[in-house]
Structure 1
């Protein structure tokens, strides 16, 4: 008789497998690299536990050349991985964020939130919101204890950033900040959304003909969020019935980056188009990575296209 451990309950190709005994086997996003000084970029990083109750942590980055009293922009970053793989210690994210920090001369708080399915959604959103509270405690200079934030951050230049599902969370957090007490404590200047993970039941653009990849994305979302609305759940479809208006985004600027060969490309373009037409009073920019696929920059941050994207992000963050 085949044991329950050997019997597959759900295949989330190509990233994860669930067995009938509840065991979860991940095939990607499990590698880790320690924090520290990156000799290639001169960027320092360290890990810190920020929410002891839920074990939510963050990896902090800053240029090692930063002088005492020098205040830099802060990017609060949410990594991708479909809500079910990867971490802030993933070498793909670690190396790409080192490149971004060096290019933009910024401080980054890369948030390590809990993953599904062990921690079903909206746990990742709750952790990301709690991390914002932790950052905001440093804005007044009184409550926060993290020296890198107190000594090196200009809290007049704070941004949310993320790729894939991390960009999705940045969107939702910016909506939630509007009119909130936290939004008054932490003044978000802009959002940088890299290849945002949005979806929907009704296909748009290339989704209409790319049935194989569309089926994969459907499977990923219904695995982590088995709601009655499926791919039209408010968390994944920002334009479905009941979704908050984009004009509520609590920031002045948004950069949406899409990749030409990405199945999610047309959702990102649609987001930019609807944001421009929403009545939101800010400035929205759209950047397209020609010839590239989803989150290409984390697989090789040294390509010319990746470097060009980092330069674009740096320009967006440092724009006066």
Structure 2
């Protein structure tokens, strides 16, 4: 980690990158993060819900990475009822965000109760201190931790395992978290299946049924139509092209362009996805999101490859509307669609050739 230095004054010539004053990069390479939550992460949303229990745990001690775990209260339901597991990765352009931020926490509270699922909101290392693919490696490490929870009774968290159905795991992600979900799907779908001693015996203790990409953060050197939209200065949206470019500058490997395979899954140097085994994929886009066209193009390209993908667009909605207002009627509609996608994916049978 970079050494701590005195915070520069606003407008200091030594600041070469500034994200809302919350994250600053100095000309000597030093990085300064504010210890406080930024103003755009509201703390006015409910921090508890009468139908949801939650607690924190550390899943990676070496990097001090935490997961915030949620499960619906039993209520009148039978004791020992097992629920699907939603692994969730927050957004923030790979540079910002936390599973503890108020809006992320509130969204996961609602997701747990209305989707009737165990929700695991996992943190990961952020750029530019840890450039990509560090976040992807952390996400893969979290799935390994989850697998260990299901098989190692001595080390597992009973609070989690008493409610989690490890045979029904879903990976969800918001914005940058959606990009992480894509790369996890590609890594899993490209890997040689693990086998036990018995012929054909799969020893992976968790089963990922599907992926949900909420307005995934993809990029490219060539601008999409929605990226090329010019807004009057006074109407410039919070998530704009300058911000997206800054996120990529700070998070991609040094010297990489936005066509790097991390950013552009269909770029000139990106590996083909035709041979990748994808379970069902749900892509959610927003009608007024600058990333709208990239999201739709991603889903259409996967569909053209014969992958089981579905895209849903929320017309008139901006990027990340579900974390901007986790308790809105539109967010409730999104969660209902996710809940139905969970049900449908559990009966999905892949095509055989």
TM score, norm. by length of structure 1: 0.88
Aligned position for 1:269 = 296
Quick check: 1:229 aligned with 2:238? no
Separation in 1, partners of 2:208, 2:117: 15
Taking the aligned partners of 1:5 and 1:301, their CA distance within structure 2 comes to 34
Q: How far 1:246 sits from its partner (Å)?
A: 3.0
Residue from 62, 67, 76 that aligns with 2:87: 76
**Aligned partners of 1:184 and 1:172: how far apart in 2?**
22
Q: What residue ranges of structure 2 are gaps of 5+ in the alignment?
A: 1-5, 195-201, 348-353
8 Å Cα contact 1:29-1:85 kept in structure 2: no
- Structure 1 pair 10–248 and aligned structure 2 pair: CA distance change class (3 A): farther
Show the counterpart of 1:129: 140
Q: Residue in 2 aligned with 1:295?
A: 320
- Deviation string 1:210-267 (CA, Å, 9 cap, x unpaired) is 3883233112211222533311111111001332333455442110000111111111
User: Given that residues 53 and 72 in structure 2 are in contact (C-alpha distance below 8 angstroms), is that contact kept between their aligned partners in structure 1?
Assistant: yes
Tell me the CA shift for residue 181 of structure 1.
5.3
Matching residue of 1:196: 216
2:163 to 124, 139, 152: 152
Please state how far the C-alpha of 1:121 moved relative to its aligned partner: 2.1
Question: Where do 1:24-103 residues align within 5 Å?
Answer: 24-26=32-34, 28=38, 38-39=48-49, 41-65=50-74, 67-103=78-114
Quick check: 7-16 or 104-113, which moved more? 7-16
Contact 2:259 2:269 in 1 (8 A): no
Alpha-carbon separation, structure 1, partners of 2:54 and 2:315: 31
- Name the residue aligned to 2:26: 19
Stretch deviating more after TM superposition (62-71 or 73-82): 62-71
8 Å contact from structure 1 (residues 82, 164) kept in 2: yes
Give the number of equivalent residue pairs.
313
Larger % of helix: which? 1
Query: Which range is displaced more, 182-191 or 226-235?
Result: 182-191
Contact 2:260 2:270 in 1 (8 A): no
Residue 170 of structure 2 aligns to a residue whose secondary structure is strand
Judging changes above 3 Å, is the alpha-carbon distance between structure 1 residues 13 and 144 closer, same or farther for their aligned structure 2 residues? same
Q: Assess if the C-alpha contact under 8 Å between 2:70 and 2:112 holds in 1.
A: yes
Contact 1:12 1:219 in 2 (8 A): no
8 Å Cα contact 1:194-1:257 kept in structure 2: yes
In 1: Cα distance, 2:218 partner to 2:229 partner: 18
Q: Deviations over 1:33-83 (max 9, x none)?
A: 7xx9823x5111110011111111101110012643211101111111111
Match of 2:3 in 1: none
Partner residue in 2 for 1:257: 284
Structure 1: segments with no counterpart, 5+ residues: none
Distance in 2, Cα, partners of 1:227 & 1:25:
20
Describe the superposition over 1:125-167 as per-residue Cα deviations: whole angstroms up to 9, x where unpaired: 1111110100011334656512133211222211110110000
Deviation of residue 4 (structure 1)? Answer: 8.6
Moved more, 162-171 or 295-304: 295-304
Contact 1:190 1:254 in 2 (8 A): yes
The residue aligned with 2:198 is none
- Report deviation, 1:312: 0.8
Instruction: Give the conservation status (yes or no) of the 8 Å contact 1:49–1:56.
Output: yes
Aligned to 1:306: 331
CA separation of 1:116/1:52 partners in 2, compared to 1, >3 Å: closer, same or farther? same
2:20 pairs with 1:10:
no
Whether the 8 Å contact between 1:195 and 1:264 is mirrored in structure 2 is yes
Deviations 1:161-183 (A, max 9, x none): 01100000011011111224579
Structure 2 CA distance for partners of 1:9 and 1:181, relative to 1, 3 Å: farther
Kept in 1: contact 2:60–2:66 (CA 8 A): yes
Instruction: Kindly name which structure, 1 or 2, has the bigger radius of gyration based on alpha carbons.
Output: 2
* Alignment partners' CA distance in 2, 1:69 and 1:203: 51
Counterpart-to-counterpart distance in 2, 1:102 and 1:117: 35
